[in-house]
Amino acid sequence: MSSRASLRAKLIASPYIVWSVLFIIAPLIFVVYYSFTDSSGAFSLESIRTLSKYLPTFLRSIWFGIEATLICLIIAFPIAYIISQKTDKIQRTMILLVMVPMWMSFLIRTYSWMAILQDTGIINSVFSKLGLPQLHMINTGGAVILGMVYNFLPYMIMPIYSVMAKLDFSMLEACQDLGGNKLTVMRRCIIPMSVPGIVSGITMVFVPSVSTFYISQKLGGGSFDLIGDVIERQFQQSYNYNLGASISLVLMILILASMAIMNHFSEEGEMVI
């Protein structure tokens, strides 16, 4: 029976294994291969040496990603908490409202913000009718970060909400019975118990924020190159696959390091609880 169960488990897992090999492991192997070869296929470190000129782009991508992630966290935490306090019916409705924008194409959502933020857009049109001075919002760093926050905010709300919805509220009542006010309950109970969801949300927002390229192109007007823009340009315009793969390798290492750090903080948070 055990051998049959083991064989059945392997058969069930085989599609996932094939998928992982074809679409995860194989692409990573190609990235590493192109990173350490030249156009002729010979071993070369030229692409790695060229990476130093893109250091400002890496730093800008990381900084924009951090800003977008922090803003998402500040907005998402109270929203997730409010949703978790409602009845099941209201929770389902509010979660639906959070997810509705995700049903639209990523491109449509970004183009919509272009129409809103441009100099002749909706906001400046309203300002003109009110007699207020117009603001130049499009093609700025703030517009890029706004696009990141809007597109990735649900990725922060959902994991935090999923953790908060399962909290043992008898513990919160016990904290209040022991003399804790609302701030103390939030600081000593709710936030520590929500650490796994916070860590998941930070990871799910920071990773796409650092690697995005379409948002920076449309809302930044090409003035704020991010690392995703450079990679996209190397593969789609310059056809320099070796340099593009090298930059992708560094970005992959950066993302894995960020995930490792987040997991470390998550383990510390669970220990505190």
Domains and CATH numbers, the chain: 53-272 (1.10.3720.10)
CB within 8 A of 149, min separation 6: which ones? 68, 71, 72, 75
> 3-class DSSP state for residue 139?
coil
How many C-beta atoms lie closer than 10 Å to residue 62's C-beta?
A: 17
**Where residue 267 falls among pLDDT bands split at 50, 70, 90?**
low
Residue 266's pLDDT is what? 66
Output the pTM of the full model. Answer: 0.88
* Helices within the chain (DSSP H only): 2-20, 26-35, 46-50, 55-84, 88-99, 106-117, 122-129, 141-164, 169-177, 182-185, 191-193, 195-211, 214-219, 227-236, 241-272
The average confidence (pLDDT) of the chain is 88
Flag whether pLDDT at 272 surpasses 50. Answer: no
Over range 156-179, report the average pLDDT: 84
d(CA 166, CA 160) in angstroms, rounded, equals 10
Residue 206's pLDDT is what? 94
Give the model confidence (pLDDT) of 200-229 as tens digits. 999 999 999 999 988 999 999 888 889 999
